Chains A and B, each alone.
Chain A
Amino acid sequence: MIAAFHTHPNPPLPYGGRRHAAPDLFAAALAVDGLSAGYDRRPAVRDISFELPEGCFAALVGPNGAGKSTVLKAAAGLLRPTSGTVRAFGLPPGACHHRTAYLPQRGDIDWRFPVTVERMVMGGRFVHLGWLKWPRRQDRAVVGRTLDRLGLTGVAERPIAELSGGQQQRVLVARAMAQGADLLLLDEPFNNLDAETRADLMTLFAELRAANKTLLVATHDFDRPADHFDFVVRLRDGCHEPEAVPS
């Protein structure tokens, strides 16, 4: 056992004591199979299955309470499935921490906490640093470039309390970019944003797609999601929506 520890080829990951594993090159970006998961032993979602190839721009739609957040959290490794599997790039969630980024609902973040935009985006680099390490010059460079690409350099030194909703969403995306994520799981990014800001965001997402990022967006803000997304997973009451009868 101890011999195995010393000769293990893979280096440990900064947090969580897990080990880095090389991703499977031909695996789907996200593969969910028969997933059931929930809180307090009651399954919020049951038997969910879908697969997203790399570069896919997918939507997870459904009314409130359908289970969209649950699926995203299971994909991010925040929830353990009661049954079924989740694989990101062929690996269980967490095995390749930095490749998956979960962007929480904006309401779940305390925007009044006194940090600057730059510092929040730097939070994306923590996965690469781990405990006890301070951000290095290269981390600051990555953050600087990311802020630039997302047009946030002007607000880099401002406290996050001063951001508008659209800017907040951009900052979350910037953090995922600084992290180096290839799979972004976005929880209700269009909530409470006006049409113009939404359009801006969609443009941003198109840029990410062009860079071969995979996006899974939970949203209930689109009447006809199929018009805007490559792939749509519809949920209702924790299950896949039964096929609508064509009219």
Chain B
Amino acid sequence: MNHPCARPATTRMGIAVSAAVLAFAVAPAQVAHSAGPALEASQVAVPATTAASRVSRSLAEYTVPSVELVREDGKVVRFSDELADTRPVVLNFIYTTCNGICPMLSQTFSFLQSKLGAQRDSVHLVSVSIDPEQDTPQRLTEYAKQFHAGPEWHHYTGTLAASVLVQRSFGVYRGDKMSHTPVTLLRPAPGMPWVRFDGYATADELIQELGDRIANP
């Protein structure tokens, strides 16, 4: 169920029911390890990686659109050309003023990058802005710097229409940037289906997925 704040009824009526509250049914939190009623929380093991129930993995055939985007270095490029890569591609969607989800996603890329070490350049990291009018190439450069992006990790912006087209092409478009959800997409090699992680895929999970496609130095 995906639902940003519902619009309340107009003020024409003296009293209105806030429909948003109805929609926000209290749902039990998904818990990786339940601490139960005991208060000795310190004795509950904190999982080293996210439990599988927090991230759902699926496969999908997406077509990379041949749409014009602008890279953080200002270069105007065709997205399909940028991804015409023999390297595995890992893709996410961000915007630079995002507070919660995007820093997590970008940190995962940053972590992945550092775990790859000398093999960093064998994986192509791609981040596309879903707030392109705000995210100018300069802002993307600053954002990328925050996460220590290396040359194998590019950020993209462009017209609103172009950004929406890319989002739709990968089934992540939710109509408004505020409604976005954490998604990471991974194409092991050209022509292969994309692996889709809904939720916060960890760097370790991505490395596991990449498997032996990470070139040896």
Do chains A and B stick together as partners? no
Q: Which residues of A contact B (CB under 8 A)?
A: none
Q: Which residues of B contact A (CB under 8 A)?
A: none
